[in-house]
Structure 1
């Protein structure tokens, strides 16, 4: 589901005005250390799995839901890796949104990845040292922070 119902309802009132949302993302690794990326239908960039929290939803549950919905796999969470704020995003339909993102490192448990919803056109594993050129900048930062050998979550100081 590209636009959650609660956001669609808000947009009826505010139109394309900027909307502040809570989001989650996951840097999912397989057993060989490859990173799972999705090719987004809206921006045409590769990105880590991400999504919007439903009202009242816990971030950890939300990110596992997003991984399953977008890629068809099951993952388990390893740790929180970063908390940051995205730049303002303008979507092709004219909507403006900015996100507080809570990012997790996750490990693939089972399932064969595929584009399991209409938000993505492709899903694939990539070696950490051979990421696609058209990788979203926010995803580059999230991957960099997730792969740091530091159990503390990164945030801007």
Structure 2
């Protein structure tokens, strides 16, 4: 996983101690209603595109950037779908992080999916009736919320 420079700087001070970070994720759909998923190198699970906001970056801009970086496609954000807090994540190097995740529904605009960085092993479109395994639990939740037909953003109440 590519670690942003500002996080490397923080880790120089706090080591592997838990960090609270802002993240974004995107449920990207094409004209056929298929969902774009990445096969993550760190967990070996299939997941929606996600990433860390850079300092001062707008969340919708961040997910469009992450989608382009990780999959090579151009996407446009349609709407906010959910705001959520992830469980604490411990990465293979021992770093611990918990994210405030802002999830968006986005639509494919242009390009063919390809692996764009070292964070993923594969990128592909999937029918919502035939999602791959192993599928990250957070992805199952994000896809369900984004595509449930309720245009209100979900948050835990």
Give the TM-score normalised by structure 1: 0.98
Structural RMSD (CA): 0.7
- Distance in 2, matches of 1:133 and 1:154, equals 25
Unaligned 5+ segments in structure 2 are none
- Distance in 2, matches of 1:5 and 1:133, equals 32
Equivalent residue for 2:46? Answer: 46
Describe the SS at the equivalent of 1:42. Answer: coil
Give runs of aligned pairs for residues 39-118 of structure 1, distance below 5 A.
Answer: 39-118=39-118
- Distance in 2, matches of 1:129 and 1:83, equals 24
1:26-50 Cα shifts (integer Å, max 9, x gaps): 0000110000000111111100000
Equivalent residue for 1:24? Answer: 24
- Give the C-alpha shift of residue 81 in structure 1: 0.3
- Structure 1 segments (4+ residues) deviating >2 Å: none
2:45/2:133 contact within 8 Å kept: no
1:74-107 Cα shifts (integer Å, max 9, x gaps): 0011110000000000000000000000000000
- Give the C-alpha shift of residue 142 in structure 1: 0.4
Unaligned 5+ segments in structure 1 are none
- Give the C-alpha shift of residue 133 in structure 1: 2.1
Describe the SS at the equivalent of 1:75. Answer: strand
Give the TM-score normalised by structure 2: 0.98
Describe the SS at the equivalent of 2:79. Answer: strand
- Distance in 2, matches of 1:134 and 1:127, equals 15
- Distance in 1, matches of 2:19 and 2:43, equals 18
